[in-house]
Amino acid sequence: MKIVTQYNPLRFLTFGVSIMDRYLVAELLAPFLFGVSLFSSIGVAIGSLELIRKITDAGLPLSTAMKVFLLKMPFFIAFALPASMLLATLITYIRLSSDSELIALRSCGVSIYRLILPAIVMSLIVTVITFAFNEFVVPAANYEASVILDSALNADRKDFQENNIIYPEFGEVDQPNGEKKEILKRLFYAEEFNGELMKNLTIVDRSKTGVNQIVVSESARWNIAENTWDFFNGTIYVISADSSYRNILRFEHHQLQLSRAPLDFARKGRKADDMNIAQVQEQLKLIMPSNDYKEIRKLKVRMQQKIALPFACLVFGLVGAVLGTKPQRTSKATGFGISVLIIFAYYLLRTIGDALGLSGFLTDWMAAWLPNLFGLGTGIWLLFRISR
Q: What is the pLDDT of residues 364-382, one digit of tens each?
A: 999 999 999 999 999 999 8
Alpha carbons 302 and 281: distance in angstroms, whole number: 11
pLDDT at 1: 37
Q: What is the pLDDT of residue 159?
A: 61
Q: Where are the domains of the chain?
A: 17-153+305-387, 163-266
Q: Flag whether pLDDT at 2 surpasses 50.
A: no
> How does residue 265 score in pLDDT terms, banded at 50, 70 and 90?
confident
Q: How far apart are CA 326 and CA 337, in angstroms?
A: 16
Residues 204-222: what's their mean pLDDT?
84
Average pLDDT over the chain reads: 83
- Alpha-carbon torsion 25, 29, 30, 32, what sign? positive
What's residue 9's pLDDT? Answer: 45
- Under the banding of pLDDT at 50, 70 and 90, the label for residue 201 is very high
Cα–Cα distance between 343 and 333 in angstroms, integer?
15
State the Cα angle at 66 between 62 and 67, rounded to 5°.
120
Give the residue-averaged pLDDT of 38-55: 78
Residue 146 phi/psi, 5° resolution? -65, -40
Give the pLDDT score at 14: 45
From 7-11, 123-127, 239-243, 295-299, the region with the lowest mean pLDDT = 7-11
126-140 mean pLDDT: 94
Sheet containing 163-174: which strands, arranged edge to edge? 163-174, 180-193, 197-208, 211-223, 228-240, 245-256
Q: How far apart are CA 151 and CA 143, in angstroms?
A: 12
Q: Is the pLDDT assigned to residue 158 strictly greater than 70?
A: no
Confidence of residue 209 (pLDDT cuts 50, 70, 90): low
Dihedral (Cα; 80, 86, 90, 96), 10-degree rounding: 90
Residues 6+ apart with CB under 8 A from 328: 94, 97, 98
Mean pLDDT confidence for 300-322? 94
Q: Give the integer Cα–Cα distance in Å for 114 and 120.
A: 10
Across the strands, what pairs with 221? Answer: 197, 230
Find the range with the poorest average confidence among 180-189, 209-218, 241-250, 252-261. 241-250
Q: How confident is the model at residue 161 (pLDDT cuts 50, 70, 90)?
A: low
User: Which tens digits make up the pLDDT trace of 217-257?
Assistant: 999 999 988 889 999 999 998 887 676 667 888 999 999 88
pLDDT number for residue 58: 64
Lowest mean pLDDT segment, chosen from 24-28, 119-123, 288-292, 367-371:
288-292
Asked whether the predicted pLDDT for residue 215 surpasses 50, the reply is: yes
pLDDT of residue 3: 41
Q: What is the pLDDT of residue 4?
A: 41
Amino acid 128: pLDDT: 96
What pTM did the predictor assign? Answer: 0.74
Distance in angstroms (rounded) separating the CA atoms of residues 290 and 288: 5
Residue 182's pLDDT is 77
pLDDT at 370: 94
